[in-house]
Amino acid sequence: MDTHTVDIEDRTGVRPAPPTTLTPDDLLIAAEGMIPMLRDRAAEVDSERRIHQDTYRRLGDAGFFHVLKPKKYGGLELSEHEHARIAMTLARGCASTAWIFSILSSDNMAIVAYPEEVQDEIWGTDTYATLAGNTNLNPKATATRVPGGYRLTGQWGFCSGSDFSEWLIFNAPVGDDGEGHMFIVPREETVTIDDWFPTGMRGTGSRSMAVEDVFVPEHRVQATKGTVRKLKERRSLHPTFETMWATWPSNGRFPFASCAVGAAWGAAEHFAETAGTSTRVANALGGTVRLADQDYVASEFAQAQGDIEMARLLVERRSLEASERARQRVESAESDVAREMRDNALVTRTSLRAVQQIFSLVGARAGNAAHPVSRAKRDIEMISHHVTLNWRQAAVRFLASQS
């Protein structure tokens, strides 16, 4: 950040939005420039179970949280294609950092489904404000109707990025039929439960968040099933923001799968850079062999790296197609959505197999939790369990869409 920007922030207390002249190429260059720093910090992020505050600040300064944000609030109004490419690039350095970017940037689309009053409340004085939380319905939560809104009580897990976000979104049942409603709550009215101790994606800080009898005004509550309809209604507020014509929830931006592909890509890069100086024990009696001299290593690595490259190209192709539909303001057909769901699961599955192959080539030292390939393997394994990446469900839906 330059001195002029610091002076402005110190004098007014307002952090200026990133330049509106930033291009997709500028953002990708910035993401690539962060990779060395993210790799240097990745082991500590894994150990501490959170990314650095400085890293989060840099993500904002680079404009990443403004990719999917309306121009009215300093946003860049870019597409799902840029979103996917940035996430893949950041994940080459640290999958947890990429995940936080991907989640919080994607959640901007949840904010724009709310009335203009809510959008002003969140971004009016802080264009960098982000929304974390969990949009899965918690049937045990309670939302009691009171004048002007609701009193909300409940606990939600897997709140990625909640270490930093100023706002949280929760899904709770309302009324006699228990219909899911989305509640947006200021972070200061929530309580963090430090229960995030997974084997992979540890730096996402996906801890549980709880609220106890918190008042949520009517304008920050919406029926979950009405989100798609509300997004369509809000298009008139931001007529140049083409991503508001994209599918919701989105598969076209590969919000989770892109992190898996990027993590595998980073593992392949590490192996390629170190194979020439790496050795393994030759046999049970001792001795060493150079990895680069082994035919089986070359064969297995070429397969793994090629599979990762295919996965990356598929993400780029499908995200570009989704962005083009949004640009033309064409609704996605069921066949489009089913194919994207299949491909989200497919590229994650492919990335997991590839990194497992690379892991096996490294040898016993890959058992070190701080080893980059070990971390990538654990991260992708964790990503692969996300509900949106279930291969069998995606395959069934895809086949049904073909008939």
Please tell me the distance from the alpha carbon of residue 265 to that of residue 308, in angstroms, as a whole number.
6
Domains defined along the chain, listed by start: 17-111 (1.10.540.10), 129-242 (2.40.110.10), 257-401 (1.20.140.10)
The predicted structure's pLDDT at residue 264: 98
The predicted structure's pLDDT at residue 291: 78
**Rounded mean pLDDT for each run of 10 residues along the chain, 403 residues in total:** 39 81 97 98 96 97 98 97 98 98 97 98 96 96 98 97 96 96 98 96 97 98 96 97 94 96 98 81 71 84 97 98 97 96 98 97 85 97 96 97 91
Burial of residue 330 (CB within 10 Å: 0-12, 13-18, 19+) is exposed
Burial of residue 376 (CB within 10 Å: 0-12, 13-18, 19+) is buried
